[in-house]
Structure formats: C-alpha cells, structure tokens
Amino acid sequence: MPHPFATHVGVRRLVTAAIAAPSVHNTQPWRFRLADAAVMELHADLDRRLGVIDPRGRALHISCGAALFNLRLAIRVTGHRPLVEPFPDAADRPALLASVRAEDATMPSPRQSELYAAIPHRRTNRSPFSKRRLPQVVWEELTTAAREEGLVLSLPGPQTTAYLLSLIAAADAKLAADPDYLAELARWTPDRTGSDGIPWYAFGPRPSGRGLPLRDFGLAGSREGREVADFAARPQLGVLLTKGDEPRDWLQAGQALQRVLLTAARRGVSTSMLSQLLDMRRRGPDGRRPHGHIQAIIRFGYGPLVPGTPRRPFPEVLERA
C-alpha cells in the first residue's frame, strides 16, 4: 500500500478518523500539521482550552490523546505501523504533543480493523441505560484495552461506587452554582449550529435529581421541552487510573480512554463520562492516591441509539508545511 501520508486522500482519511475522537464539551482542541512527507504532528489548540474547569490542560491533553489513538489506528489499517514520539520539542514548542511517522508492517489484525471500523459509531450517550449488566467477558476486554495502553481500568464495587457518586453529586451541585462555570458551559452548549460544541440534541434527558448525578448541559440554557428522566442509582462504572498526573500521563490516558471506548462500541456497549468531580480538581493534583490518579470515570451500559456531534471541517484542523 502507498505511504499513508503520500496522498491528499490518504491524509484526509487519517485526519477524519482522528477528529472523530471525543473531547471535553466537544471543543475539539487539536490541530494537525503535515511537517513533511514522513511526519504528521499533533498540536494542542490552546485557544480551545476551558479556562474554568481545565486551567492545567488535563482534559485538553486527554482529548488530544483520544485523537492520537484514532490516528494510530487509521495508520495501522493501511498496513503500516505508527511510530509516535510524544512531546518531541517540549522546551520550545509545548503545544506540540506528538510527532507520528509510519513504517511498513504486516496487515492489521481483525481486532485492530474492528476497532477502526467502530470509530464512526462511538457516541457519548447521555440517555438512561437499561438494567442489563455487562457480561464478564466484556469487562475483561475493557480492562485489557486499558492495560494495553499502560493504564488501569478499575471496576469499583458497590460501596466504592456509592461513595464516588456522592462525591460526583456534590461536585455537580457546586458547578451548577458557579457563574463562571455556567458562562463557560453556555459558550459550548445550547443553540449551537456550528461544527463544535454540544448541540441540544446531544444533551439527553434532563436528570430528575433521583439516581445518577449526570451533568445537565441544559443548565446553561432553556429547559423547556426537554424530557425529564430518572437515571440508574447503581450505574456500572469504570475508573481510569494513571501513575502520574502530568501532561505525558494525560496524553497516555486519552489514548487508553479511546481504546476502551472503541472496545465498548465494538461490543454494542454505550458509554458516557462523569467528569464533574475531575472538573473541580482545577489547580493541581491532590496527592498520590493508593492506586493512581483518576483521569476518567466512565459509565457503561446499554442505551438507545443517539446521534453523533458535529466536527470541524478537515481544512480547519490540518496545516501543511
């Protein structure tokens, strides 16, 4: 096969796959640069960082890490192996998160091809999930997916889940009363008809206040006409953990998160994030935890089909040298 960076069609296919990744508030805080015929660079778009909930850039790096994983998959299915160098010029270009080369390799495995095929079908599902429990074999695949990227996906038991939910509910209440948070949320939520942010149709039902403390994106705008729903009081959660809590860890966490999300999508499992607790951790790490630093709290289950969210056009995110 031709080198994946050799043609306009090939580059467009790679970038289209990369930008299908999830991102905080669908800010899509990434830019790609074809440095030459052999190197594609991933840059953070710092103008899209959320200053209120993400001043350190943790969520931005995780979002870009998810895009990087999609890029790796897109290269792999061309019969090439992605060679990633994270932070190749950290001193002079801190926004340059990774440079990616591609070398000849064998054809992808069936599982790699299936993960790539799942990219356009992965969704953030903010609807209530059914009571159906994930089979053990699926949990094993999800934890293996995180481990393959060097992270741990912890599956909390009932007591830990209840404790986590109480912390998330408290954080959600504090955020909902924070005018700076509401103003930032409003910039990325209702009435958006562009190529980024979270449009009204992706909000999901308005939480009733009973059960799961799901973020209500409609807080920043009108609540009229939205269905009100109860969410499960005992959701199926996974907690993604890193050893450190710095940009390199966050970029790695984003790649692990996307591998987990695509593994779930491949199995027909719905997912969404419970990020309020992490949004409150604004100024810096709060100490080394016994099992690592929490980078994502993921809700798993079986939900209805939901639409995707818009993406920035290809020419807007790609720069050529």
Q: pLDDT, tens digit, for every residue of 245-296?
A: 999 999 999 999 999 999 999 999 999 999 999 998 765 555 445 579 999 9
Q: Residue 111 has what pLDDT?
A: 97
Please provide residue 273's backbone torsions phi and psi, each rounded to the nearest 5 degrees.
-100, 145
Write down the pLDDT at residue 242: 97
Q: Quote the pLDDT of residue 282.
A: 61
Cα 96 to Cα 25: distance, rounded to the nearest angstrom: 22
pLDDT value, residue 17 = 98
For residues 308 and 1, the answer to whether their CB atoms sit within 8 Å is no
DSSP 133: P
Contacts of 14 (CB under 8 A, 6+ apart): 4, 5, 40, 71, 74, 75
Contact 95, 58 (CB under 8 A): no
pLDDT at 210: 79
| Residues of the chain scoring pLDDT < 50 | 287-288
Q: Considering only CA atoms, which of 232, 193, 250, 204 is closest in space to residue 60?
A: 250
* pLDDT at residue 226, rounded to an integer: 78
Instruction: Render pLDDT for 1-29 as a digit per residue (tens, 0 to 9).
Output: 789 999 999 999 999 999 999 999 999 99
Q: Virtual CA dihedral for 48, 49, 50, 53, nearest 10 degrees? A: 160
**Could you tell me the two tokens for 314?**
């290809």
The region, left, alpha or beta by phi > 0 then psi within -120 to 50, assigned to residue 214 is beta
Kindly list the structural domains of the chain, giving each domain's residue range(s) and its CATH number in brackets, ordered by start. Answer: 8-122 (3.40.109.10), 136-301 (3.40.109.10)
